[in-house]
Amino acid sequence: MELKRLLSLTRKAVDEYNLIEEGDRIAVGISGGKDSLTLLYALSHLRRFYPKQFELCAVTVDLGYASSEMSGIETLCKELDVPYTVIKTDIYDIVFNIRKESNPCSLCAKMRKGSLNEHLVKSGINKVAYGHHKDDVVETLLMSLIYEGRFHTFSPVTYLDRTGITVIRPLLYIDEADVIGFSNRMNLPVVKSKCPVDGFTKREYVKNILKDINRETPGVKDRMFKAIEGSDIKGWNNGKHELS
């Protein structure tokens, strides 16, 4: 995928769901993966011509095993003129060594978001952008159906009452395959996850199911996404042009 296409689809999401307002201070949550780095690239270029002026920064929550590989991200942020902050934590040690969680993902995510949101509030940042793409939207729906028995997925915009932070997802119209293509095309400094359960999660299981279904019946993923857009899930069809 070329930059022009990336910016077009990113702006479509931003415009349709009012993801960015004049004067916003937006942090991109950087995990080191292809999704967050593609999002960083998209927003850093979008701010150059988007009619609503906004500030942009990048933040990484270091779970406790950051490496020198992150230096590539620092270099990219400098090239894009985006301030970059790394938040040091002991999350890995707490989750895997102290508590020895058998299902670590939930606790890890909760602690990671807690550290991030605390930093955002102290820094006066009002929005955080996550690199969730179209595949993530559909996979989350399947996970909710399989493991929770409900028709639900995350919304394009989520307001967090306890912190006053608004979560936005500008890549929701972009396929994961296109994110991979853009990341490879631009040679983004992707850092491989060092999480010991990476590739063995419920999400990975559902991702493979979706791939199999879409391979046997092409277009399934796009039809499921359309169903989500036209559903009553909070923040989607009934939430367009609203902030919450």
Burial class (CB in 10 A: 0-12, 13-18, 19+), 45: middle
| Alpha-carbon distances, residue 5 vs 10, 99, 174, 185 (angstroms) | 8, 45, 10, 13
Q: Note the pLDDT of residue 225.
A: 97
Burial class (CB in 10 A: 0-12, 13-18, 19+), 159: middle
Burial class (CB in 10 A: 0-12, 13-18, 19+), 188: buried
Q: Note the pLDDT of residue 208.
A: 94
User: 6 and 38 in contact (C-beta within 8 Å)?
Assistant: yes
Find the mean pLDDT for residues 102-107. 80
Task: With CA atoms as reference, report the closest residue to 31 among 113, 147, 114.
Answer: 113
What is the CATH T-level fold of the domain 3-239, as seen in this structure?
Rossmann fold (3.40.50)
Q: What are the residue boundaries of the structural domains of the chain, listed by start?
A: 3-239
Mean residue pLDDT of the chain comes to 91
Sequence-ordered list of residues with C-beta below 8 angstroms from that of 243, at least 6 positions apart, any chain: 18, 21, 157, 159, 166
pLDDT band at 241 (very low <50, low <70, confident <90, very high): very low
DSSP assignment string, 169-202:
-TTTTS-HHHHHHHHHHHT--------TTTT-SH
For the chain, first and last CA: distance in Å? 31
Residue the block writes with tokens 């058998």:
102
Strands 24-29 and 127-129: parallel
pLDDT digits 0-9 by tens, 62-82: 888 755 568 899 999 999 999
What pTM did the predictor assign? Answer: 0.91
pLDDT at 185 over 70: yes
